[in-house]
Amino acid sequence: MLLYRGFNIGLLRNDTGQVLKYGGFYDDKFSGEATAYLPYTQNDTLALPAKLRVTYTGAFPIYTDTLNSFDFKGLIAFNGKTVRAAEQSKWYPVIYDVKNDRELLEVTYDIEVTCKDCQTIYINGSAPQAGPSGKFHSTIPRQLLLFAGNYVVQALPNSTFLNADLSADEAAVFNENIGSIINFYRFYLQVPYGEKITFMQHRSVEPFGPKRSWGFVTFPTIAVAGKPFKSEIDTQKRLFKNIYSYYFYSHELGHYYYGQSAPANSTLKWFFLESMAEFLSIKAAENKYGKEATQKYIAERKPLMKDWKVKPLSQISSPNQIGDGYRYTYAPMILLAMEKNFGSKTVQRFCRNILQNAGQRTDYPFLVKMVKSAGVNDKDWKAFEATVMEQTECNKIFDHLP
């Protein structure tokens, strides 16, 4: 079991209430922000009991200013107005699968939260509730993000805003734009959008803004600090002030499909998670702003990739061989090249097929299978592999883009 390093355990008990012995209190092993506590009997790590009961307590500094030298998703942050604790901090006990080295962050829940001086309490995946206490329930496994304190809730058809202080008109424009993305995805993928997104604005405990902002996602919550949602909206044009906002939210919304509906794993995990979401965002923006938007998107990335070299997807043997630049910048270009070569309908079918085959190993043979089932014949695919897929020099891709 993993628990935030700032907590102290009272007791660890099994389903019959029996107190368990556990290691980790002395000479502990850290795992990120958490300490690993391992229940044991005699000399063996205990197999997980059906129920585990744990009591723990902790106290935290309250930063009413932004003097702290850092803030990040793994910090439990009190700023005098709100408390923010994301799954990464492990503010709730996270079961750690020792054998497979896996953190089980996503859980169904039935949880009561009490916060004496909180106006609003929110747990990721449930509707926010008025304080000082609320019961939250989810049959969909979620990563738990807690956001509680004194802030207002604005609930609209496509989205809920926490602590956002948007005017009614700004909220409507934001909601319209989010709605246009969701509508496009429903049409493009032919799968209903099964989430209502919560947009959360919070004040970090280190200085973000006015020029520096910070966003994180604990799906279906998108959180920002430093740049208020308000500042992104142009109520005259009824658009985001900057198309980058449209790409950003489209990408994050795309993770409902690639991430949630179709989880990614295996060697091409980052391709099927991030590159697919990024590709969707390109299509969404193209739908809203026209083909020139895609031209501009490509042109802006060209100089970045000038000297990049990559390992072809067919040769990737472990997920982390696909670094940030590869997954967010280069691999989406491969999908655009596929589109130019095989047609947009074919790539649309490829995208849908991935969702229909969710749960399989997302490796290179899977990618090829999805391409072929989208209607690409062996000969055409071999030719495309030779010219694009097997290419190691990134700048060569521009010969194959629109």
User: Which residues sit at the interface with Zn ion, rule CB under 5 A?
Assistant: 274, 277
Q: Give the distance, in angstroms, between the CA of residue 67 and the centroid of all CA atoms in the same chain.
A: 28
24-60 burial code (b ≥16 CB/10 A, e <16): beeeeeeeebbbbbebeeeeeebeeeeebbbebeeee
Number of neighbouring beta carbons within 10 Å of residue 295: 13
Taking alpha carbons only, the member of 296, 287, 294, 335 closest to residue 182 is 287
Helix (H) or strand (E) holding 83: strand 82-85
Residue nearer to Zn ion on the CB measure, 71 or 274: 274
User: What's the min distance (Å) between Cβ of 352 and Zn ion?
Assistant: 20
Residue nearer to Zn ion on the CB measure, 232 or 274: 274
Residue nearer to Zn ion on the CB measure, 280 or 305: 280
Report the alpha-carbon distance of residue 4 to residue 58 in Å, rounded: 9
Residue nearer to Zn ion on the CB measure, 75 or 222: 222
Residue nearer to Zn ion on the CB measure, 307 or 324: 324
- Please check whether residue 279 is in contact with residue 332, taking contact to mean a CB–CB distance below 8 angstroms: yes
Residue nearer to Zn ion on the CB measure, 92 or 257: 257
User: What's the min distance (Å) between Cβ of 264 and Zn ion?
Assistant: 11
DSSP state for residue 119 in the 8-state scheme: S
- If 0-12 CB within 10 Å is exposed, 13-18 middle and 19+ buried, where does residue 380 land? middle
Contacts 24+ apart (CB under 8 A), 61-68: 63/205, 66/203, 66/204, 66/205, 66/206, 66/207, 66/208, 68/205, 68/206
User: What's the min distance (Å) between Cβ of 259 and Zn ion?
Assistant: 7
User: What's the min distance (Å) between Cβ of 49 and Zn ion?
Assistant: 36
User: What's the min distance (Å) between Cβ of 217 and Zn ion?
Assistant: 7
- Please tell me whether the peptide bond between 220 and the residue prior to it is cis, using omega within 30 degrees of 0: yes
Residue nearer to Zn ion on the CB measure, 156 or 189: 189
User: What's the min distance (Å) between Cβ of 343 and Zn ion?
Assistant: 26
Amino acid at 155: A
User: What's the min distance (Å) between Cβ of 274 and Zn ion?
Assistant: 5
Report the alpha-carbon distance of residue 133 to residue 117 in Å, rounded: 10
Residue nearer to Zn ion on the CB measure, 7 or 185: 185
Helix (H) or strand (E) holding 198: strand 197-201
User: What's the min distance (Å) between Cβ of 237 and Zn ion?
Assistant: 27
Which DSSP string corresponds to 97-113?
A: ETTTTEEE-EEEEEEEE
